[in-house]
Every structure is written in C-alpha cells, then in structure tokens.
A and B are shown apart, each in its own frame.
Chain A
C-alpha cells in the first residue's frame, strides 16, 4: 500500500470563519469589478467603432447590471452573490466613493445603450474609466488587507489572478482606442504597461514572485489551467501585432474574452482553495474540541475508577504497616495514596491542572462529591493520625469504614457515567468493559486487604465470606473479559495485544488465586501474595489502558 505520511497538526484554529470564508468571495467579486470597468469601456468603443455592435451592447448591458449589483452587494450584502459586507470603516468608505463615481458613469453607459449618446458622454467614459478602476482597486487592496489581518496569505493570489481579468479587458480597450485614434500616446503607454503587468502576474502565479507577494502555484489542476492561459496569452499577443481590419479586431476581442473567461476560472479555483482551507480549519477546530471533550470524559471516568482502588489499597497498606511488613515503605505508600485520593477528589470539583481535570458545575456530580466528602474527611483524619502515631484505633476506623468509602466512590463513578452518556453500541460496550476491567484493579487490593484481616484474626468468618465473593467476582469478570459475555455487554476481544495482556493477567491470577483461597499460609506464601497483588494490579492497570485505547477491540 502506498502510504504517504503527513505529520501535520490538526487544524490551526483561525477563529470562527464565516467572515474569513466569505471574504474570498468579496475579494474575487470586488476584483471582478475592476475588469468590468475596462470591459464596459471596451464594449462602448466596439459600439462606436462598429465592431459587432449588437453583441457589444448586450455584453455592455450585462456588465453594467453586474457592476451595479456587485457594488451595492459589497456595501449592503447580497446572498445571491454570496457577498457579506465587511464591517470595516475604511473599506465601506472606499466602496461608497466608488459608488459615487459609478452613478454618473452608469448614466453615460445607459445613454450608449439607448443609442442617444453625445461626444461628451464618450469622452466622459474615456476620461473616467481609469479613475473608477483605480478607486475599485483601492477597495480590493483594503479587502486583501483585512484578510492579511486574519493571517490569510492566499488572498493575494485571488486578487492578482482576478486582476488579470481586468488587464485582459484593459488591453482590449487600449487596442480599440488606438484603432480609433492611432496617435494616442496615452493609450499606447497604457497598453505597454498593461501587457507587461499581465505577463508579470501570469508568470508570478506560475513560478512565484516575491515582489508581487505570490508563491508558486502547486495545485496541479490550477497549474494546468495556468498553462492553458499562457498559451492563450501567447496567441493573443501574436494576433495583437497584426490586427488591423474590423474582422481581425473582432477576432482579437473574442480572444480577449476567452482569456478573461480562463482567468476567471483560475480566480475561482484560487478562491475555492482559500475557502476550502478556511473551512477545513474550522471543521478541524470543531472536531478537535469535541474529541478533547470526549477524551476528558474518559479520563475523568478512569480517575474516578482509580479512586475505588485507592480506598482498598490505603487500607491494605495500613494493615501491612501495622503487621510490620515493610512498615516504612507501606507508610510512605499510604501517605502518597491518601494525598492522591484527596487531590483527585478536589480536582473533580474545582479542577486540577496536574491531573488534567476541568472541574465541574454539574449539580448531580457536585452532590455525589459532597457525599464522598462526608465519608472521606473523617477517614482522611484517621489516616493522618495513623501515619503520625500508628495507633490501632485509627486502623480500626479505616477497616470499619473503607467499604463505605468504596461504595460512595463507586457511586461517583456511576454518576460520571450517567452525566457523559454514550449513544452507540460500540462506545457503550467499551465503557462497560473499561469500568469492569477498572474494577478488577480495586478487587486486587480488596482481596489482599481481606486476606490480611483474616490473617490478623479480625472478624475472620465475615472476611472469609467477603474474600470468597471478591475472588469469585474477580474470577468471573476476568473470564468474561477474556471470553466475552453478551448479557454483561462484554465483547470478546480480538485485538492481539489486549488478548496477550489478559493472558498475562490470567497466568498471574492462576498462581495467586489458590493462595487467597488457602486457609493458612507459610511466610513464603504470604510474601508471594504481598508482592504478587501489586504485580497483578500493575498488569491489570495496563489491560485497562489497552481497553480504553486500542483501535479495534
């Protein structure tokens, strides 16, 4: 399989993008207005010169209506054209200026269309088309500036590709002006300038041009269209040199329109890329925040699940310390676990950066946290006392109350699960699996604690019963996790890594289980349980992580 590796960060957040996305349309259409000023003038000249006058009038009418609609749309918005007014004082002021120039210009165009025009009207169009173009261009530049503020660099390609449309018409207009008045220096100079600029921009779009702020175009489908434009331009230039008769000029005008259509197509392609990037960034941003929220939910449920295990682990550690089994190590572990339980519980409520917990304002969760606190506060007090004095009374309190703390910790897990509901089979099953696998961690600690209590002679019959239940629950759950259980919504895993991990847990469990079930233990066997339960916990923890993260369960 040909696989291409891209390490690209998911969507740079560029802000909510309606304006950005719409801006490309504004730049394109405002840019198109520049072309229309020249096209209208060219069409007026064609009418005057008698070169396909009927077609020129039809084109002129269309261009006039489009210019009129677009300038109004740029000021007030036009959903049909996809125009949204840019809320920028300078931009709006500039468009108003264009509109004021446009009104008298339009009146003259209408006169040409009606056939009732004077020499003064023609002169007005000839004198003012460049002013209208210049002011329209300023508006485009201001829009590109707005775009640059939002860090959009592709806007320049839309602008300049759009400018080529105008130049194709401006060149055609100058050719007609020279046909009507071969001595016009102004037209000759303008033609030379426009030809040079057209070539510079086209080359810049194809190969890049620092001066113009253009990067080399890489999209193959645009490169292909730019090659076509280059060929059309070369053809146009050849014909331009020799066009003298009305027929030759008519053909040249037709070619200029084809060039215009080609550049228009290219401008739209740049606009599509610009919009696509903006849109993809925005979609990525929405997906990312959604994923982040989901990951947070899983993380919270996982930590809440671990709290259950800590209630049992703390009690076990206190018992081991009281028995003189690695007293120092167990007291240190107890202190660590107490602080972790406390920090996590506070983190659920207030948030905790280190634990990556956002905190909550959910009333149901807050209520449950309060209920855990009711048991945890005195429990914590006794743990602290025990850590300071090693008093058996404090240990007794922990032994008597750890299961209530476990119960309330478990209630909090279930509340989190309810607050973050899933509505699809896969996620629901995965959540159940993670919860059951997560509970196994707690069971390793609970059964060790119960074994210790039996060995210490603390209510041995009661704890024997409890131990039997705990062992049986661990046993059954491990079996279900390995082989699946439809009733419990546990899917049989097919993931090799996960299967291997469960096998590892199963092998450990097979060695430890008889020791938990045995009434009297040798010192070696006791030591095996004390070491083994921590290995079992660690391996079960790995399995839980895999249950959460493997791609395919």
Chain B
C-alpha cells in the first residue's frame, strides 16, 4: 500500500510540475487574477487550484453540518483582538507572497492524525497540544525555528521571526485558537500571527487542492 501511495505521489508531483510553455485555460479561478499558485510541500511542488468540475459536490466529513457543542462550538471572528483573522484569498496570497519568499509559514494546528489524513499544501504540523503541554524550553525550540533569536542577555528577539498563518478544521474547531493563545502566552508577536478561521472546511468547500500523506477511509 505504501509503495502504491509513493508511486502515486510521484506521478501527481510530476503532473503538478510547472510547464512554462503550457497555456492552461482555467475555468474556476481562485480570484479573477489568480488562476492557481505553486507551493512546495515537503520538497514537492504542488499546484494549488480549485476543482474545475462545476458540478462537483463535497461528500466527505467536511460536508457535515453538526457536531456536538461543546466541544465543537462556533468560534467568533477574532481569536484575540491583536491577531488578524484572514479568509481564503488572504491565505492564498500569504502562501504566494510570504511562504514562497521565506517570510512565513503555514501552520496546521491540528493533532498529527488529522494532519496526516489531509492538509493544506505547504502546511507544517505544530499540534496545539505541543505548547499546551510543553514548557518555555519547547516554546524556545519552536520559536527559534520560526526565526526568533536569543540575545546575549537571554532575551528573545522576534525582529526576524516569520509570519505564521494558522488554521485547523474550520469555524467550529478550537485547535488553532488554542495554539494562537499559547504562542501569545510565550510572547510570539501578535502582528506576526494570522488566524485562518475558515480552516480545512472552508478550504475544501471552495474545491482547493489538499495533500494526503496517509490514505485511510475517512469517517
């Protein structure tokens, strides 16, 4: 099974590789000016675009309307007044302008099992529990990888820290708000955090490309 998936992964990656001479007609664009974008997911170029079949309907678990609340309650637009909430177009632009130029990261705040099952291309997994259960040392390790530097006096310098666009399952999911609150608790600058509230459900409802690492039958 693994081999099949690997082979499939390679084939898809090759298909996704850009061909500069190719002029593609895109019926369902992302915006009027953005037909698609390219990002890298674990070293593989991925073309992020919308499904071109205008009859397509979402049938998997992201078409589900109701889950028990609590814990799956609808979240307000803002997770924290200092943190900007973004929608899908802003997320796409972030990927194109910040991620691809090394200025930002797209963070999937869900537990690894969710991430492995399906995620947004280019996303790296930082489960919300990592900082909730971790301490300042764990935060320091992660923040350094986000570009934070530790000064000679031991103070954390976030001047070179990357911008983070954080998401989870959607408006009913509290995993990204919880990660954001932990980031703020440990001093990550609020103006370098973006909350993509629509999350996976919002992304999939627009027919945007996703990546799958472990193929399982979805419940």
Chain A residues in contact with chain B, CB under 8 A?
1-8, 10, 17-18, 21, 79, 82, 218-221, 223, 227, 268-269, 271-273, 275-277, 279-280, 282-284, 286-287, 290-291, 294, 423-427, 429, 491-492, 494-497, 550-552
Shortest Cβ distance from residue A388 to the other chain B in the assembled complex, whole angstroms: 47
A491 touching B68 in the complex, CB below 8 Å, given contacts A5-B5, A287-B125, A552-B61: yes
A272 to B141, CA, bound (A): 19
Q: Is the interface of B mostly helix, strand, loop or mixed?
A: mixed
A1 touching B58 in the complex, CB below 8 Å, given contacts A79-B151, A219-B40, A273-B40: yes
Contact A1 B145 (CB under 8 A): no
Contact A5 B114 (CB under 8 A): no
Contact A275 B102 (CB under 8 A): yes
Contact B212 A5 (CB under 8 A): yes
A17 to B43, CA, bound (A): 18
Tell me which residues across on chain B come within 8 A of A427, comparing CB atoms: 129
Whose C-beta in chain B lies nearest to the C-beta of A495? B219
Binds A, one of B15-23, B74-82, B84-92, B191-199: B15-23
Contact B12 A5 (CB under 8 A): yes
Contact B124 A280 (CB under 8 A): yes
**Interface set, chain B 48-83, CB cutoff 8 A to A:** 49-51, 56, 58, 60-61, 67-68, 70-71
A8 touching B9 in the complex, CB below 8 Å, given contacts A286-B138, A424-B132, A426-B71: yes
Contact B207 A2 (CB under 8 A): yes
**Interface set, chain B 117-139, CB cutoff 8 A to A:** 117-118, 121, 124-127, 129-130, 132-134, 138
**Chain B CB within 10 Å — which of A1, A8, A279, A286 has the most?**
A1
**Chain A CB within 10 Å — which of B71, B121, B219 has the most?**
B219
CB 8 Å contact bits of B179-219 with A (1 = contact, 0 = none): 00000000000000000000000001001111111110011
Contact A287 B209 (CB under 8 A): no
Contact B102 A4 (CB under 8 A): no
A552 touching B145 in the complex, CB below 8 Å, given contacts A2-B51, A269-B102, A284-B124: no
Say if the beta carbon of B158 comes within 8 Å of chain A.
no
Contact B210 A6 (CB under 8 A): no
Say if the beta carbon of B101 comes within 8 Å of chain A.
yes
Tell me which residues across on chain A come within 8 A of B160, comparing CB atoms: 82
Contact B102 A6 (CB under 8 A): no
Contact B210 A2 (CB under 8 A): yes
Partner of B9, one of A1, A5, A218, A227: A5
Contact A492 B68 (CB under 8 A): yes
Contact A286 B219 (CB under 8 A): no
Chain B residues in contact with chain A, CB under 8 A?
2, 5-6, 8-9, 12-13, 16-18, 20, 38, 40-46, 49-51, 56, 58, 60-61, 67-68, 70-71, 100-102, 112-114, 116-118, 121, 124-127, 129-130, 132-134, 138, 141-142, 144-146, 149, 151, 157, 160, 178, 204, 207-215, 218-219
Q: Is the interface of A mostly helix, strand, loop or mixed?
A: helix
Interface Cβ pair total, 8 Å cutoff = 150
Partner of A425, one of B71, B130, B142, B149: B71
Contact A4 B132 (CB under 8 A): no
A552 to B125, CA, bound (A): 18
**Chain B CB within 10 Å — which of A17, A79, A425, A491 has the most?**
A79
Partner of B142, one of A221, A283, A492, A494: A283
Contact B45 A219 (CB under 8 A): yes
Contact B45 A424 (CB under 8 A): no
Whose C-beta in chain A lies nearest to the C-beta of B96? A221
Contact B211 A6 (CB under 8 A): yes
Shortest Cβ distance from residue A500 to the other chain B in the assembled complex, whole angstroms: 11
Whose C-beta in chain A lies nearest to the C-beta of B107? A283
Tell me which residues across on chain B come within 8 A of A268, comparing CB atoms: 102
Partner of B100, one of A221, A290, A425: A221
Shortest Cβ distance from residue B26 to the other chain A in the assembled complex, whole angstroms: 13
**Chain B CB within 10 Å — which of A79, A276, A423, A495 has the most?**
A276
Closest CB pairs A-B (n = 8): A272-B102, A220-B38, A7-B5, A279-B145, A220-B18, A7-B6, A2-B209, A6-B9
